Amino acid sequence: DRALLLVGFSGALRRSELAGIQKEHLQLVKEGFVLLLPWSKTGMREVNLPYGSNFETCTVRALQEWINSAKIESGPVFRAINRHGQIQPNSISDKAVALIINRNSHIRETVKNAEAKRAHDSTVSIPNFAGHSLRAGFVTQAYLNGASEASIMSQTGHRKSDTLKKYIRETDKWKNNAATKLGL
């Protein structure tokens, strides 16, 4: 689950894109993984998955760990696991991705608590996770952290900034309030 969630979040991927990743679509370079998405909604595109600064949340390390432990040499990266814990040769579905996201909604409370401690404010609100949360969460967090629209669109594959802006889910209306920029 960790590798799937981190790849989905840092890649700003749709559920179907995440479910369809093949080992052959991944190239490890010194900066991280280059992921080729030949079937993306917006056409073929490459997504860069860089190394993270935190070992526990590093997308590249989590993905390498999953590929090695699952002994994946080719074919689907994210595979079904049967009730006996055996990894199957077939890819998971986009619905399975949504279930995994929902199953891991406890992460929401961890994020919420960490943000509240950092802001010294218990009113921080993190919306419930759903199938599109990884993609929308990437856009929102990248925006809040000051990433340019162009760099966000490069990762998500959006072609229009109007469409991108629909993904931004403000979590704190006071933090980025335009009135604070007036110098009053």
How would DSSP label each residue in 107-154?
A: HHHHHHHHHHHHHT-TT---PPP-TTHHHHHHHHHHHHTT--HHHHHH
**Taking the chain, what is the end-to-end CA distance rounded to the nearest angstrom?**
47
- Which helix (H) or strand (E) covers residue 33, if one does? strand 32-37
Q: Is the full-model pTM beyond 0.75?
A: no
Is the confidence at residue 139, as pLDDT, over 90?
Answer: no
Is the confidence at residue 120, as pLDDT, over 70?
Answer: no
In tens, the pLDDT along 140-157 reads 888 888 888 888 888 888
Is the confidence at residue 169, as pLDDT, over 70?
Answer: no
Q: Which of 22-26, 75-79, 99-103, 130-134 has the lowest mean pLDDT?
A: 130-134
Confidence of residue 172 (pLDDT cuts 50, 70, 90): low
Q: Which two tokens stand for residue 49?
A: 């998955």
Q: Which two tokens stand for residue 19?
A: 């479910």
Q: What is the mean pLDDT of the chain?
A: 80
